[in-house]
Amino acid sequence: MSLTEVEHIFAGVHEAGINDFLQAFFTARPRHLNYGTSLFVPVTTAAATNMATIPFPGIPGGIHWAVSFTIPTVDLFPDSSGGTAPLIPGPGQFSVKTRVTLTVGCGTWNNGDNVPGTFPGPPPSFTPLTTTLDVFALGHLTSVYFGPGNGRIGLRVDSVEIVNITPDTLESVVECIIRMILDAVAQTINLPFNALTIGFVSLILLRGPEIEDDQVKLYGDV
């Protein structure tokens, strides 16, 4: 904390601190990174979140699936990769690196005499098919301010890059799906203002959050 030219209070956190926070958050709450239907996640636990199958006519019980991410790491502007990352954060942006594992239950079943939708027949059998992809993303910060000392910083994902998928149309489809899921995961993460300030200080937010110098910065008064 220090004096600034206009504002009286500066609060900031370095990207190393944010990555420590993400490590602690997701280690304690891995269910926010791991999702699957009952075939893969029978019930919601601290480790994973149970999700519904994707219904589709003629597929008994629907399509089973699972998605899991490794704990993401964040790089705040300016870029720390030396320009080698597929996505480079610009002013006010951060980049994210993670790895996603996608799994689908590949089902086989016998609907009577091969007549769609007729039963009885043996229950479906499912073989898990899995692929793992490196994911790079760009995002920005959001903030919600409720009053002095009371507010939070959030994360939003704007774009995703997954390399080495062909054709380009398939890459676009996969990137869109992963962006939507990763953005939803990012919205579960909130960094409260009091984590950035000394306990006896109630920050009146005047400017920020801003990303610069590998830090998230808040400016305000007391």
pLDDT tens track for 111-132? 655 555 555 567 788 999 999 9
CA–CA distance, 28 with 32 (Å, rounded to integer)? 10
Residue 41: the pLDDT is 98
d(CA 23, CA 21): 5
Domain range list for the chain: 9-221
List the chain pLDDT tens, one digit each, 222 residues: 444 455 556 667 889 989 998 999 999 999 999 999 999 999 999 999 999 999 999 888 899 999 999 999 999 999 998 889 999 999 999 999 999 999 999 998 876 555 555 555 677 889 999 999 999 999 999 887 766 656 788 899 999 999 889 999 999 999 999 999 999 999 998 877 665 555 555 666 677 788 889 988 877 776
pTM, rounded to two decimals: 0.84
Structure confidence at residue 60 (pLDDT): 86
Estimate to the nearest angstrom the gap between the alpha carbon of 31 and the chain centroid.
Answer: 12
